[in-house]
Amino acid sequence: MDAVTFKNLLERYLRDDLDEQELQQLLDSLQDPAFQEEWELAVSQQLEYPFPAGTAGLPVGDAFEKFRKLNGLKRTKRPLIRRLPWKAVGIAAAIIGMAILLNKVFIQSPEGKNFRISAKEQVLPGGNKAVLTLANGDQVILDTAGNGTIAQQGNVQVLQVQQGQLSFNGSGDEGLPGGMNTISTPKGGQYQVILTDGTKVWLNAASSLKFPTVFSGAKREVQLEGEAYFEVAGNAHKPFKVNVKDDMAIQVLGTHFNVMAYKDEQNIETTLLEGSVRVEHGLDKLLLKPGQQAQLPGDGKLRLSPLVDVENVVAWKNGYFQFERSDIPSILRQISRWYNVEIQYEGNIDFKKEFGGKLSRNSSIEEVLKALELSGVHFKLEGAKIVVFP
């Protein structure tokens, strides 16, 4: 096959315009070193694909075999088991990702029959959903509120700038009611709020942020439950403080960082992207540099992780699930929060199995589960419940 034919087959594949023989011809090009560079370029330009962690040195035939079985393709007479570099294996797995993204595969039931979730039972991805509780106790359901002014607090206007973004505009503290405002996202929700000092906060699902209408006095202080990404407006005379629990706080002047403090996670994690923050827990203190993460596990002892993949940490803010050698329970906790589903485990599951890859948070639950099945664990969807089995 020449380069022109390869390009034509790939373009037609993405348009869902190949017959079985042509699809087999395209897949066979994975075995040809002459087309490795073309595959890498095509995948990097057009696809976000999942692939199993730790694939270095594995037979590319294994990845192809998964794809063949999922799509009911006949075996090729050409030998497929060959040792190739990890990039080639990743590309082979990308073919599975292409099938998932293009809805060419079905979820398999335990009986081996193909099925799709009915529209009535379909579990949908999360979206822009939140409730704002004002300092006077009034509540506004933001996902049903229109754009424009939704409340007035003293000199401060509370504006719905656009769907998914709330802004507190104004200054001064005269005539403001006492107490704190709270913005809360449910499971399957996310929202952004711009505070009166210009600080931007992105809330992940099942999270809440308490904050004053204006920051009076010598400090700026908020309270977080769940997960949020902060871009703190600089003010050397008025430090910004994020309280995570009674005895833990993050002190900043102006910086970008992510805080993950879900009660069902093993660690509370503070990850710094830009600037400098100091994490305090009791008498323990850690000063973070960009790319570092402070972890507070159950034993209550602050620990420093000196080098983390910040892209993985903030993937949720950018609209992705992104994993690197992540275990299935930790992945499913994220899935549960975003799709608002219950997780149930059955049978003897190997929880040490790991998964790596990247998926859009707009993916259907079927697409996500099919990708995760590459780790060797299986799933069935029962209404708003995911059952996990070996």
Domain positions in the chain are 1-42, 127-312, 319-389
pTM for the predicted model, two decimal places: 0.72
CB distance 230 to 242 below 8 Å: yes
Q: Does CATH number 3.55.50.30 belong to domain 319-389?
A: yes
3-state per-residue secondary structure call for the chain: CCHHHHHHHHHHHHCCCCCHHHHHHHHHHHHCHHHHHHHHHHHHHHCCCEECCCCCCCEHHHHHHHHHHHHCCCCCCCCCCCECCHHHHHHHHHHHHHHHHCCCCCEECCCCCEECCCCCCCCCCCEECCEEECCCCCEEEHHHCCCEEEEEECCEEEEEEECCEEEEECCCCCCCCCCCEEEEECCCEEEEEECCCCCEEEECCCEEEEECCCCCCCCEEEEEEEEEEEECCCCCCCCEEEEEECCEEEEECCCEEEEEECCCCCCEEEEEEECCEEEEECCEEEEECCCCEEEECCCCCCEEECCCCHHHHCCCCCCEEEEEEEEHHHHHHHHHHHHCCEEEECCCCCCCCEEEEEEECCCCHHHHHHHHHHHCCEEEEECCEEEEEC
pLDDT score recorded for residue 385 = 95
CB distance 22 to 16 below 8 Å: no
Q: What's the CATH class of domain 127-312?
A: mainly beta
pLDDT in tens, the chain (390 residues): 777 787 777 777 665 566 767 777 777 776 676 776 666 566 544 444 444 444 333 334 444 454 455 445 444 433 332 333 334 444 444 444 444 433 333 333 333 333 334 334 578 999 999 999 999 899 999 999 999 999 998 889 999 999 899 999 987 654 454 579 999 999 999 999 999 999 999 999 999 999 999 998 888 999 999 999 999 999 988 999 999 987 899 999 889 999 999 999 999 999 999 999 999 999 999 999 999 999 999 888 999 999 899 999 999 999 999 988 899 999 999 999 999 999 999 999 988 888 888 899 999 999 999 888 888 889 999 999 999 999
pLDDT score recorded for residue 161 = 92
Q: How many CA atoms lie within 13 A of 8 on its CB side?
A: 7
Whole-number Cα distances in Å, 168 to 146, 237, 254, 259: 16, 21, 19, 22
